[in-house]
């Protein structure tokens, strides 16, 4: 995953990082995308056009084309999904100066930014595997185009996302999809990798419980709460 300057919701990677059989690399500026990656994930962004300009300035667009030629998979989440299209337009300057930019062209879609922000917790289904997916949406803009006729998720009966004709390039507005164990397992199987993490959310809860117990053991929590309340 390239480290974009305005990256958002980078915890999308946490479930993959927790998988024992998966190696996740965050590629810093100045370095190429690895040539042996099975999947290049383009994350969300607080400013899609500005981060797309950075993506090109780093030469990652060239690396991405080479990755595709080798048969590699690509997944764009939210802003990353918008970048994968043919064009991103921001006529009202909602994320920066008004204007537009050509996308990476790996999906036949176009995005137009609009003031209405979509915020929702979303229950979806992976169309290919039937696996349930829980995620959330937090984005500006609407994405349309021929590749949206090949959705790979379904939300309350409506199609979500887009994919290339061969299914190796996908985009979606849903964050947090890899937290869903059955979906993560099915997705990794498509990449030729087995999932051995059986309950990601339980691991998160256990970590938070351990952190809370550590805080209670070493800090005067009632005093901190009193200070916070002004008592």
CA torsion angle 180 168 7 142 (round to 10): -90
* 227: number of Cβ within 10 Å: 10
Which of 73, 175, 214, 218 is an active site residue? 175
State yes or no: is 175 an active-site residue. yes
d(CA 164, CA 86): 13
The answer to whether 63 touches 28, Cβ cutoff 8 Å, is no
Helix (H) or strand (E) holding 70: none
Half-sphere CA count of 28, side-chain side, radius 13 A: 1
Q: What is the DSSP code (8-state) at residue 109?
A: -
State yes or no: is 67 an active-site residue. no
Q: What is the DSSP code (8-state) at residue 105?
A: -
d(CA 107, CA 162): 8
The helix/strand/coil state of 41 is strand
For 41, phi then psi, to 5°, come to: -105, 125
Cα–chain center distance at 150: 19
CA torsion angle 9 90 152 72 (round to 10): -70
What's the longest Cα–Cα distance across the chain?
64
Which of 67, 73, 78, 139 is an active site residue? 78
Q: Please list the active-site residues.
A: 78, 175
């Amino acid at each position: 995953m390239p480290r974009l300057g305005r990256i958002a919701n980078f915890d999308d990677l946490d479930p993959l990082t927790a998988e024992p059989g998966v190696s996740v690399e965050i590629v810093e500026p100045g370095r190429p995308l690895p040539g042996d990656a099975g999947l290049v994930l383009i994350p969300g962004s607080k400013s899609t056009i500005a981060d797309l300009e950075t993506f090109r300035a780093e030469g990652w667009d060239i690396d991405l084309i080479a990755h595709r030629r080798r048969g590699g998979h690509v997944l764009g989440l939210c802003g990353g999904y918008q970048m994968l299209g043919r064009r991103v337009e921001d006529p009202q300057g909602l994320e920066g100066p008004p204007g537009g930019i050509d996308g990476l062209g790996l999906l036949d879609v176009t995005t137009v930014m609009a003031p209405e922000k979509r915020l929702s917790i979303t229950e979806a289904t992976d169309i290919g595997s039937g696996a349930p997916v829980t995620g959330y949406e937090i984005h500006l803009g609407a994405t349309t185009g021929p590749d949206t006729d090949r959705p790979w998720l379904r939300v309350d009966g409506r199609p979500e996302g887009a994919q290339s004709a061969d299914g190796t390039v996908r985009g979606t507005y849903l964050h947090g999809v890899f937290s869903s164990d059955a979906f993560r397992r099915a997705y990794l199987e498509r990449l030729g990798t087995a999932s051995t993490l059986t309950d990601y959310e339980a691991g998160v809860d256990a970590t938070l419980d351990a952190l809370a117990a550590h805080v209670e053991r070493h800090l005067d929590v009632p005093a901190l709460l009193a200070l916070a309340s002004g008592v």
